[in-house]
Amino acid sequence: MRHLLIYEMIEAVHRSGSIRKAAEDTNITASALNRRIQAFEEEFGSEIFERLPRGMRLNPAGELLLHHIRSQRQDMARVSSQVADLSGVRRGHVKIACSQALLPYFLPEQISRYRANFPGVTFSVNVRDRIQAERDLVSFESDLALVFEPAHLVDFEILHAVPQPVMAVMSRSHPLAIRPVLRLRDCLEYDLVLPGPQYGVRALLDLAAAKSGQQLRAVVETESFEMVRHYAGFAQAIGFQIPVGLSSIARPEMAFIPISDKDVAGGELLLGHLRGRTLPVAALKFARQIATALG
């Protein structure tokens, strides 16, 4: 516990890249901050910063220390959450990295349900693509990740997996909107609005097109699934998404039709956390609620 203050100072220097700026952020003089870090390095037995002409940068030993600092902080949060549980009071903060598809409907409803029972718990929700989500877990920026088809699974411990087909999104007035299932070749005859290549839906579409010798030509490519839905509605174009991000009740003017799995293989929506990590109580209980809701 006695190192908590110096840990905060080390993180401040890491964030700002200089003693002077970190000193301003931590309300201490630059000379005093420099002495504190040098004293820590002497006790630690190794330098943790590279002293550069224009600032400070963590060296490999410092990077290892920073990971330890963040791990210790998460462990302390977990213990505090468990202590709160002993008294019957749920407190804590849950940090989630998630695909955009979870934002419009699923996560707002689930967080609202959880906080109705445990109003002492707060949440941070950060939109991340498949690769960024796992990085967030490794750096302890997030407790949980809920993403479609993560690209890397080395540090990802799966808690729950749910199949998700790729859906075509279009206006109900579109000529294809009356069909129960669509073939990819039918969609390619119309204007397409596509998510960027970093997203799981696009990766599955690109793979399917390559296998069949077809080519995806987007009239609009975007990082926003809101843009996909809205453009498809306005322009009689076809977009693509997964079911968890769609609601026929909220968007009755839109049609959501599955693409045949003969053409485009479905993927999985994965709920997970950092491999080997013990989650804080609030995060674990919320993960269990999500798993139940996803079925």
Residues 6+ apart with CB under 8 A from 130: 99, 147, 148, 149, 150, 151, 152, 198, 199, 200
Please list the residue range(s) of the chain that carry CATH number 3.40.190.10.
Answer: 90-163+269-294, 166-265
The residues of the chain that CATH labels 1.10.10.10 are 4-65
Instruction: Give how far the C-alpha of residue 138 lies from the chain's centroid of Cα atoms, to the nearest Å.
Output: 12
Instruction: Tokens 């073939």: give the residue.
Output: 183
Architecture of domain 90-163+269-294: 3-Layer(aba) Sandwich (3.40)
∠147-150-154 over CA atoms, to 5°?
A: 125
DSSP codes, 104-159: TTHHHHHHHHHHHH-TTEEEEEEE--HHHHHHHHHTTS-SEEEEES-S--TTEEEE
- Contact present, 220 and 246 (Cβ < 8 Å): no
Question: Which tokens sit at 19?
Answer: 């003693």
Q: What is the pTM of this model?
A: 0.69
- The pLDDT of residue 3 is 65
The residues, any chain, with a CB within 8 Å of residue 186's CB and separated by 6 or more, are: 176, 179
- CA end-to-end distance (rounded Å), the chain: 42
In angstroms, the CA 228 to CA 233 distance is 9
**Which backbone phi and psi does 223 adopt, to 5 degrees?**
-90, -5
Q: Which helix (H) or strand (E) holds 255?
A: strand 254-258
Look up the CATH number of domain 4-65: 1.10.10.10
- Check: CB of residue 276 under 8 Å from CB of residue 225: no
- Provide the Cα torsion 267, 271, 273, 278; round to 10°: -150
pLDDT of residue 88: 46
pLDDT (tens digit per residue) in 172-194: 999 999 999 999 999 999 999 99
State which residues of the chain have pLDDT below 50. Answer: 1, 87-89
Q: What is residue 251's predicted lDDT score, i.e. its pLDDT?
A: 85
What does the DSSP 8-state code read for residue 68? H
- 293: how many CB neighbours lie within 10 A of its CB? 13
171 φ, ψ (degrees, to nearest 5): -70, 150
In CATH, what number does 166-265 get?
3.40.190.10
Give the span between the Cα atoms of 257 and 177, in whole angstroms.
7
pLDDT at 85 (0 to 100): 62
Which residue type is seen at 186?
D
**Segment holding 184, helix H or strand E:** helix 184-187
β-pairing, 144-148 vs 92-98, is parallel
CA distance 11 to 209: 46
Tokens 């707060």 correspond to: 122
